[in-house]
Amino acid sequence: MPAPIIKVDAISKSFGAFKVLDGLSMQVMPGEKLALIGPSGSGKTTILRILMTLEKIDGGHIQVDGEQLYHMERNGQLLAADERHLARMRQKIGMVFQLFNLFPHKCVMDNVTLAPMLTKGVARAAAEKRAMELLDMVGLADKAKAMPAQLSGGQKQRVAIARALALSPKIMLFDEVTSALDPELVEEVLNVMRKLAAETDMTMLLVTHEMGFAHDFADRVLFFDRGRIVEEGKPDEIFRHPKQERTQSFLKKIIAAGHRV
Amino acid sequence: MTQWSGYLGLILQGALVTIELTLMGSVLALIMAFLAGMGRVSRFFILRAIATAYIEFFRGTSIFVQLFWAYFVLPFAGLSLTPLQAGVLALGLNVGAYAAEVVRGAILSVGREQYEACTALNLARWQGMRHVILPQALLVMLPTFGNNAIELLKATSVVSLISLADLTFQAQVVRSQTGSTLMPFLSVLIIYFALALIISWGVRTLERRMARGLDGVRV
């Protein structure tokens, strides 16, 4: 059995008096597609943000690809990671945000090529060639020269996916990537993610309220509540036969709100 | 009439000095504004402290006093400046302190999500600043920079106090030589106003050009 690519060990994190993560542990295998579901404030987005080093942890350890994320080993001692260590670890991870976070002053092409050119020293021609392949993959090859403000929400999100992919991360984090979209634009983004899952062996972690998509997409579903994983299992187990009472009542509410499972 | 045109020539010479002071002072002010403004948002305490001290000192003391120090006091420390150099130094440092707060405010006005995108794309802090944050902040700074430049233009008249022959100085010269008050003072009034209009217009044009494409309308 291969080693897990992500190993989260007893992570705790508070915002002021509010404990978002309470001794959370989890493991993700290479290539695994994971859906994180649960009520808001349950800590599912926070764990993605922690993996992307956007939030600091209060306690615990995280291993990514065999190395400590927030700690460095020096002469057998574990020290807090410095910026250089974090930068090296971030190369393994990419993230797509709920609100796209495109750079509004740069055209689509420059959005995608900026990071590879700056962080990996890729020459412009090579970066643009790769960007065109990625834009083609997300169905936006004709929008390379467009500014983000000229795009629809769904198009923006597909550019954001291409931008994250341009750095070839081993792990991709998707934080409610369709939550800010008009209903008719959701599907075009989900299609890109299906394609990604089918064509690559990237490890993908997905926080979502699209239960139907989570069911079809994920190898494993984690149900979060109050900073802990209450239940986990194959999509069928979680969605059809949830064991925990919390999971059942959450899914009932979601279905009542009109979501397909 | 030929006499008047001779005096007008004097005033225009003064206008050239004023323009020169404004341009050079603005360049220095811009440099100081970015150094101190970015210093204010630095991670390093010592940089924040130096930037804050500079800003508070130059905002908190009068530009007259600063000019007198540059021209009359610095020579005692072994640094003798020409009136023009002293003028540029005082004006640049003074206006730069105000503009530094503009730079700081504009940098902070860029949304947190842009910083987070930089982190997620693994840009180093200075790379994110240079390629993502500052280009967006610049657009926020521009209108206030226009104000600062006009303030600087008007403040250039203080250099007449260290006998630099700028617009205001020449007006005084013409007045004392001709005994006429209206003509020299009306001319300098119009010239200052025209210069300020040019600055406003230039900044607005720049702003329009930079905003192009940002909101999807002005393509």
The dihedrals phi and psi of B110, each to the nearest 5 degrees, come to -70, 130
| A121 within a domain of the structure (yes/no) | yes
Asked whether the predicted pLDDT for residue B219 surpasses 70, the reply is no
Q: What is the mean pLDDT of residues B42-49?
A: 95
Burial label, B95 (beta-carbon count in 10 A; 0-12, 13-18, 19+): buried
Half-sphere exposure of A73 (CA within 13 A, CB side): 6
Q: Which domain holds residue A142?
A: 98-168
Give the model confidence (pLDDT) of A8-18 as tens digits.
Answer: 999 999 999 89
A106 within domain boundaries: yes
- B217 — pLDDT class (breaks 50, 70, 90): very low
> Which residue, among A113, A104, A99, A100, has the nearest Cα to B213 in the 3D structure?
A104
- Chain A contact residues (CB < 8 Å to B): 52-54, 83, 87, 90-91, 94-95, 97, 99, 101-105, 107, 114-115, 118-119, 147, 149-150, 163-164, 167
Cβ within 8 Å, pair B116-A104: no
Whether B120 sits inside 8 A of A105 (CB atoms) is: no
Q: With a cut of 70, say whether residue B64 has pLDDT above it.
A: yes
Interface test with B, best of A50, A118, A145 (most B CBs within 10 A): A118
Domain B2-211, CATH among 2.60.40.1080, 1.10.1740.10, 1.10.3720.10, 1.10.260.40:
1.10.3720.10
For the question of whether the overall pTM of this predicted structure is more than 0.95, the answer is no
How does the average pLDDT of chain A come out, rounded?
93
Task: Return the amino acid letter for B103.
Answer: V
pLDDT band per the 50, 70, 90 thresholds, residue B2: low
Phi-psi region of B128 (alpha: psi -120 to 50; beta: other; left: phi over 0): alpha
Q: Is residue A81 part of a domain?
A: no
pLDDT of residue B87: 95
Number of domains in chain A: 1
Position A129 in a domain: yes
Q: Is residue A74 part of a domain?
A: no
Longest dimension (CA), chain B: 71
In whole angstroms, what is the distance from residue B63 CA to residue A167 CA? 51
Cβ atoms of A4 and A40 within 8 Å: the answer is no
Does A145 map to a domain?
Answer: yes
pLDDT digits (tens, 9 = 90+) for B169-207: 999 999 999 888 998 999 999 999 999 999 999 999 999
pLDDT digits (tens, 9 = 90+) for A34-79: 999 999 889 999 999 999 999 999 999 999 999 999 998 888 888 8
CA of B131, closest CA in chain A: separation in Å?
A: 8
Q: Cα–Cα distances in Å, from B47 out to A70, B33, B86?
A: 27, 14, 26
Q: Choose between A260 and A48: higher pLDDT.
A: A48
Q: Does A7 reside within a domain?
A: no
The complex scores an ipTM of: 0.92
- Look at A107 and B213 and tell me if their CB atoms are within 8 Å: yes
Is residue A46 in some structural domain? Answer: no
Specify the pLDDT at position A259.
64
**Residue B218 pLDDT > 80:** no
